[in-house]
Structure 1
Amino acid sequence: MKEKINTILFDLDGTLLPIYQDEFIKSYFSRLAARILPMGFEKDAFVKAIMAGMEAMIDNDGTRTNAEAFWEIFERLLNVDREQLMDMFLDFYKNEFDEVKEIVTERISRREMIDNLRERGYTLVLATNPMFPIEAVATRLAWIQLSPEDFSLVTTFDNCRYCKPSVEYFQDILSKLNKKAEECIMIGNNTLEDMICEKIGIKAGLVTNNLENKNNYDINQFAHGTIEEVLKALL
């Protein structure tokens, strides 16, 4: 018997939020550097530590949270204690980080769409790559008139032990929600990071407005189009 779809996983950057990853990273890094370098850090060392911390999260094998993976290498490379910087980071994500919205060329609201899906009884997951704390996710969601409370689960670097494109990331979501793969669909814009969920049986739809397809996948193998078109095709 075929399971009925009752759960929708949404990617954030490039899917719900219309941005390109490279532009986002550039704007984010420049603002974070402007905040942290006056504290006495050297720019090249700081950038190297941030990049290494991100790599550590992507390569995380599930033995620790992504936050722990990040801070372990960030502390070592900058010779700093995380306690000295944690409050600064959280304050940054609540304040200066909001300026990154300058890269969002299309001012849109996802409020009506999300409210409609919730009213129809779907469990909604914000399956954003868990490399940020909840404060950074909340700031980005506000740009599209949403908040973390709109989702049953938001993946962050504090509550996850894997990153995309690891299939374990998606298995962990299923475990947290006590869902079967056949009950879920994943909506994303990245042919590798998001569509890989199909390897464990989660049907995927590809949003092409801000398509990221560095591996040159044949997108015709997936339901694809605008976010509205993808939802209509899969639900």
Structure 2
Amino acid sequence: MIKSVLFDLDGTLLPLNQDDFAREYLTHIGAKVAQVIDPKKFVSQLLASTDVMVRNKDKTKTNQQVFLEDFLHKIGVAREILLPVIDEFYETDFVLVKSITRRAAAARQAIMAVIECGLDVVVATNPIFPASAVRQRLAWAGVDDINFKLITSYEQSHFCKPHVEYYLEIAAHLGRLPAECLMVGNDVKEDLAAARIGMTTYLVTDCLLNVKNAVINTDYQGTLQELAQTIAQIIKER
């Protein structure tokens, strides 16, 4: 029986093109830090340290700890100089990225359908961003006022997608078995990885992401609007 529904954010609850999002994000954060470091050097190390964080499986360190340990060691700018600039970027400039996203009414409809069924709702976004950036994107999607059971971010998560440990950590936090969870997402590699531990999966096709053209193996698939219309039935089936 499904008791908790996990929703991916980027490309799922918040429709966007991943390449456009990455380009805008890196352009704006690079411009922000230009006052203290060469933007090209910053972006290059940001991507490299993010990769270290994504690959990490040390359960004793949060994603934030892994990222900062690698990033600050290699970037060549004092922590007390660089981090306040980055924090200010998320407070004042991150909103500039909103222009390449759009709001879909079906996102709220799907979430409310889950809540009406009495189930937990989780924002299972890949936790490579700080909580403030996740909250802003939820606002862009028009669902920031919802009382989610959990919102993953790099401050409190210890693993990233597509590691199954990421999904196991969520299930443990909720006190659920993986088989009691439904993962909803648009990324074949990252979101359908939840099936490897027994979670039911729904692939959202509006902004389908399948970088390696992998064979798609999912329990359900369809648009976000179709999900909103059928999620109550899916929950009953499972």
TM-score by length of 1: 0.91
Equivalent-residue separation in structure 1 for 2:11 and 2:76 (angstroms): 34
Task: Show the counterpart of 1:49.
Answer: 45
Equivalent-residue separation in structure 2 for 1:136 and 1:31 (angstroms): 14
User: Any residues of structure 2 matched to 1:1-235 within 5 Å, and which?
Assistant: 4-39=1-36, 41-61=37-57, 62-104=59-101, 106-109=102-105, 110-147=107-144, 150-219=147-216, 221-230=218-227, 232=230, 234-235=234-235
Equivalent-residue separation in structure 1 for 2:84 and 2:191 (angstroms): 31
**How far is 1:122 from its partner?**
1.2
Question: Is the 1:223–1:230 contact (alpha carbons within 8 Å) kept by the matching residues of 2?
Answer: no
State the identity %: 37
Question: Is the 2:7–2:122 contact (alpha carbons within 8 Å) kept by the matching residues of 1?
Answer: yes
RMSD of aligned alpha carbons: 1.8
Equivalent-residue separation in structure 2 for 1:197 and 1:150 (angstroms): 23
Bigger mean CA deviation after superposition, 56-65 or 186-195: 56-65
Question: Is the 2:33–2:39 contact (alpha carbons within 8 Å) kept by the matching residues of 1?
Answer: no
Alignment gaps of 5+ in structure 1: none
Question: Is the 1:7–1:184 contact (alpha carbons within 8 Å) kept by the matching residues of 2?
Answer: yes
**How far is 1:77 from its partner?**
1.7
**How far is 1:64 from its partner?**
1.0
Question: Is the 1:13–1:128 contact (alpha carbons within 8 Å) kept by the matching residues of 2?
Answer: yes
Deviations 1:207-233 (A, max 9, x none): 011000122233364411112434626
- SS class of match (1:95): helix
Count of equivalent residues: 230
- SS class of match (2:13): coil
Q: Report the CA distance shift for 1:222/1:111 in structure 2 as closer, same or farther (over 3 A).
A: closer
Alignment gaps of 5+ in structure 2: none
- SS class of match (1:132): coil
Equivalent-residue separation in structure 1 for 2:71 and 2:14 (angstroms): 28
Q: Report the CA distance shift for 1:37/1:148 in structure 2 as closer, same or farther (over 3 A).
A: farther
Deviations 1:118-138 (A, max 9, x none): 232110110000001110001
Question: Is the 1:206–1:230 contact (alpha carbons within 8 Å) kept by the matching residues of 2?
Answer: no
**How far is 1:148 from its partner?**
7.1
Deviations 1:69-90 (A, max 9, x none): 1111211221233333333323
Question: Is the 1:204–1:223 contact (alpha carbons within 8 Å) kept by the matching residues of 2?
Answer: yes
TM-score by length of 2: 0.90
**How far is 1:42 from its partner?**
1.6
Equivalent-residue separation in structure 2 for 1:65 and 1:206 (angstroms): 28
Question: Is the 2:187–2:208 contact (alpha carbons within 8 Å) kept by the matching residues of 1?
Answer: yes
